Amino acid sequence: MPPHFALRAVAHPFVLSLAFILSAGVAHADLKLCNATSSRVGVAIGYQDKSGWATEGWWNIASQTCETLLKGPLPSRFVYVHAIDYDRGGEWGGKSNMCTNDKSFAIRGVQDCEKRGYKRTGFFEVDTGEAKEWTIRLTDPAQGKAEK
């Protein structure tokens, strides 16, 4: 049974719980996000690879679906996530500032976002523990912790 981690994130005006589940499969090595909420969500990610820092977005993920955000082994131990609840408002964010844009984007570097014409956005950090694949699961408050 994979280890489970739970984190509560405050989203205005809702409190949404966020659970991370380490996938146990061997065949695929991907970063996935499963939207177990009753809302549509927009997701942006940040990571550091051999070329430096990168942010990418927006994946529009329907309620009760999963999406592969990165194919192949994770580029680094730490992945950063920012998500927006399109239907009820609110967002999942954090203290790690990275660059985003309003429309689809792939941005290199995390410095001087505004000077380069981007938004400075707070991401939360996900420690994958050197795993080659990882699944992030967004849940509604009533669902509580991640499934075991």
More confident residue, 112 or 22: 112
Per-position b or e across 123-139, b if 16+ CB within 10 A of its CB = bbebebeebebbbbbbb
Stretch 23-46: mean pLDDT: 82
Q: Is the pLDDT of residue 3 over 70?
A: no
The residues spanned by each domain of the chain are 4-143
Rounded mean pLDDT of the chain? 81
DSSP 147: P
Looking at residues 46-69, what average pLDDT do you find? Answer: 96
- Looking at the predicted structure, is the pLDDT value of residue 31 above 90? yes
Query: How much is the pTM?
Result: 0.76
- 108 vs 65: CA distance, rounded Å: 28
Mean pLDDT of 85-114: 95
pLDDT given for residue 88 in this prediction:
92
Distances from the Cα of 42 to the Cαs of 2, 25, 38, 84, 131, in angstroms?
A: 27, 26, 13, 5, 24
